[in-house]
Amino acid sequence: MIVGCETCGQPVRSIPSRPRLYCSRQCSATAQKTGVYLRCANCGAFRYSARSHVRQDVPFCSTRCATEFRKHNDAYGSEIAAKIRAAHRELWDNREWADPRRRKLARKALETQESGLYRRSQLELRVHDMLRSSRLSFEPWKRVTSERFATCKEYDIYFPETDAYVEIHGSYWHADPRFYGDASQLFPVQRHNLANDQIKAAIVQEELGRPLYVVWEHDVYAHPDKTLALLTHYATERGVNQ
């Protein structure tokens, strides 16, 4: 029996006991693709993306293009930032997806509070490696006890030479204002982290009278040289201002 390939229409010999729908493996693979083709924001090439990945809105054909794009753009731009916010909101508004993750985050937060051992992010470790490679003296994850707030907070970097503190913030988790400028559109976890950031800033700036600096994830990956130069300034220049 002769049938037409469901992809290209070419004639295919098929038997009832073992039906064939496609003339080749290439046509079979093509039929399995249900996604869309997106244009790379850096080089302009088209790339295929599965529908499950489209909502992540990563408009690059490769990691190299993504890195090159970020090096020449201080921010993704308002249009792309809006798409990123929309994608995050779509995920967190989906209770089937979000509720298990909220429970997981709450459980880990409780475990951290009970054990006193804080999770170390890859971003923090990356910045620490940058400092070590430059032979800068620093203390990682410096703990400070506050009588005013009756709590103990941990800071990502402490420079003993200048008595300065540095926090390393993820763009999403701490709501980088370049991407999340509208406070009314923040997610609950972002609002929680911002409130905690304000307490940590008050402890260092008001109780200790020392500067607290913030290094953003976007700058660490997009402008590592500038970030390292800034950290070097914080680590070696006495009297630096907030």
pLDDT number for residue 242: 41
Of the candidate ranges 183-187, 208-212, 235-239, the one whose mean pLDDT is the lowest: 235-239
Residue-wise pLDDT for 166-186, tens only, equals 999 998 889 888 888 777 778
pTM of the model: 0.53
Where do the domains of the chain lie? 1-32, 118-236
Please report the sign of the dihedral spanned by the C-alpha atoms of residue 147, residue 176, residue 232, residue 116. positive
Distance CA 237, CA 219 (A): 21
Query: What contacts 25, CB < 8 A, 6 or more positions away?
Result: none
- Helix axis angle for 224-236 and 122-133, nearest 10°, is 70
Angle 91-109-213 (CA atoms, 0-180°, nearest 5)? 85
Query: 3-class DSSP state for residue 207?
Result: helix
Average pLDDT over residues 114-135: 78
CATH fold, domain 118-236, is Endonuclease; Chain A (3.40.960)
Looking from the CA of 63 toward its CB, the CA atoms found within 13 Å total 1
Distance CA 200, CA 209 (A): 12
